[in-house]
Structure 1
Amino acid sequence: MSLEPNFFNERDDQMWADLLSPGRRALLGGGAAALAAIGLARGAEAQTVPVAAAPAPVPAGRSPWGYDTYKEPTPRPKSVRPGEAVLPANPRAYTDIKSYHAHIYFDEDSHAKAALIRKWAAERFSVELGNWNLEPRGPHVTPSFYFGFTNDLLPVIVPWLQLNSLGLTILLHPNTEDPRADHLYYALWVNRAQPVNAYGMHGPAPGEPKVEQIYPNTRPTIRPEA
């Protein structure tokens, strides 16, 4: 069957007539108007400039630090080991350690755990048990209690505290002639470390023992679990 030469022209004419019928023209026109409106709205939104907030009023008065603190030089911190300007020629002797302290830290949410550790330790070990520090005391920035013990107990008390810390932070430090370094640089920690404000600590005064002494004051009645 042969097609007349004008068949395709008639078909194309009908397609365009359908597309451009009044109903379709109205639909297309409405869509174009809507798109144009959206474009104008977005353009207006993009051109909107936010209003800057008014500056906060400057309080009356002067800073107690003055206005030249930015000119202060950066000071050199103290030596890692007080009194050592250079690296030591030889290691320190481990016999410089005469005893140890264990500081158990707690807060209002964990004081019951600290009380239990305190009770257990006093029942099992001959130690010098200090009183409760319910506020920061000395170089310790949180509530704590401590007990001191002699070197022979170290192999037992360290693993005992590791297994019975109940999640509390515990500072273990040796006692030498340098209490500042004992707290800052010779320390061991059970669980998390925390700041210790020992930078102002000094050695013993004239006439005092060179190393803090330990005087056990507990009466243990239970052998440590083994």
Structure 2
Amino acid sequence: MTKRPSDDHLQYHAHVYFDGQSLALATSICEQAGELFAVKVGRIHQRLVGPHLRWSCQLSFDQAQFDQLLPWLENNRQGLSVLVHAVTGDNLADHTRHAAWLGEELPLDLSVFNA
């Protein structure tokens, strides 16, 4: 069973994953999240970045935004996978122990944190 996101930290990232067919959907979701919840919307990466093995867009938010953003993402992701993780300064822990998923859990390239 996939671990669900919980509000245990001060800062978070949510990575919305997409491909060429779902680019417009992911862009719309991220832009709406930015407008509705005043979260910081990162680049819409149409290439692999960091540990992410699919294209992604990062949403940056804090504990105060968590309880409204996460249910909205769950209800509006339309089948896209979303990685939600804490931002503690320990990238490996943030993407493993402090991480949870909305939708399908996808593999990550954690070797980038060993460099």
- With structure 1 as the length reference, what TM-score do the two structures score? 0.45
| Count of residues in Structure 1 that have an aligned counterpart in Structure 2 | 107
Match of 1:172 among 78, 84, 91: 84
Residue 111 of structure 1, CA deviation: 1.0
**Who wins on radius of gyration, i.e. which is larger?**
1
Cα distance per residue 1:49-103 (max 9 Å; x no partner): xxxxxxxxxxxxxxxxxxxxxxxxxxxxxxxxxxxxxxxxxxxxx4xx3300010
CA distance in 2, matches of 1:114, 1:158: 15
Q: What secondary structure does 1:194 align onto?
A: coil
CA RMSD of aligned residues (A): 1.3
Which residue matches 2:53?
141
Q: Is the 8 A contact 2:53 2:107 kept in 1?
A: yes
Q: Is the 8 A contact 2:50 2:112 kept in 1?
A: no
- With structure 2 as the length reference, what TM-score do the two structures score? 0.86
Letter in 2 for 1:99: Q
User: Segments of 4+ in structure 1 off by > 4 A?
Assistant: none
Q: Is the 8 A contact 2:27 2:44 kept in 1?
A: no
Q: Is the 8 A contact 2:13 2:87 kept in 1?
A: yes
Match of 1:130 among 33, 42, 48: 42
Consecutive unaligned residues in structure 1, runs of 5 or more: 1-93, 203-226
Identical aligned residues as a percent = 35
If each structure's strand is expressed as a fraction of its own residues, which one has the higher value?
Answer: 2
Q: Which has the higher contact order (CA 8 A, sep 6+)?
A: 2
Consecutive unaligned residues in structure 2, runs of 5 or more: 1-7
Letter in 2 for 1:129: V
CA distance in 1, matches of 2:112, 2:24: 31
Letter in 1 for 2:80: L
Cα distance per residue 1:165-213 (max 9 Å; x no partner): 11101000011131111112221101100011123316xxxxxxxxxxx
